[in-house]
Homo-oligomer: A and B are copies of this chain.
Amino acid sequence: MVLKRPPEAGEILQGTLDMLILRTLVMGPAHGHTITQVIEHTSENALEVEQGSLYPALHRLEDRGWLASEWGVSENNRKAKFYRLTPKGRRELAAATGRWRKMTRAIDLILGAETEKPEVLP
């Protein structure tokens, strides 16, 4: 993400998009448009997925063997590429989730977690 200074609401934490896509596909195969909507909706619109981020990510994940794709027809009767998790992808999701939890725990330790939060905005 570009991380304008300061980052706008809706931007995605660098390195998490892949994990979010993988997680979304646990619920079943889906095409790009749906994946975007699921992520945005499930996050209660805290996250936004830009197309220019999504499609390269999907290709990247497929290149790594974490997703497989096939063309089909969408709910709206349009041509769409459906992605599904591969077993490798499922393992990667587990690993990524583990890393995520470890990292956030570590960072929250430094931030002071619930106990000692730094000043509130004036």
Q: A46-B106, A111-B23 are in contact. Are A15 and B39 (CB under 8 A)?
A: no
Give chain A's interface residue range (CB within 8 Å of chain B): 35 or more
Other-chain contact of A102, B9, B20, B119 (Cβ < 8 Å) = B9
Interface flags for A84-122 (1: CB within 8 Å of B; 0: not) read 000000111111111110111111011110000111111
How many copies make up the complex?
2
Other-chain contact of A15, B14, B42, B111 (Cβ < 8 Å) = B14
Closest chain B residue to A87, Cβ basis = B122
Instruction: Provide the residues of chain B in CB contact with A39, threshold 8 Å.
Output: 110
Q: A46-B105, A95-B121 are in contact. Are A110 and B23 (CB under 8 A)?
A: yes
Q: A13-B15, A15-B13 are in contact. Are A6 and B95 (CB under 8 A)?
A: yes
Residue A56, interface by CB 8 Å: no
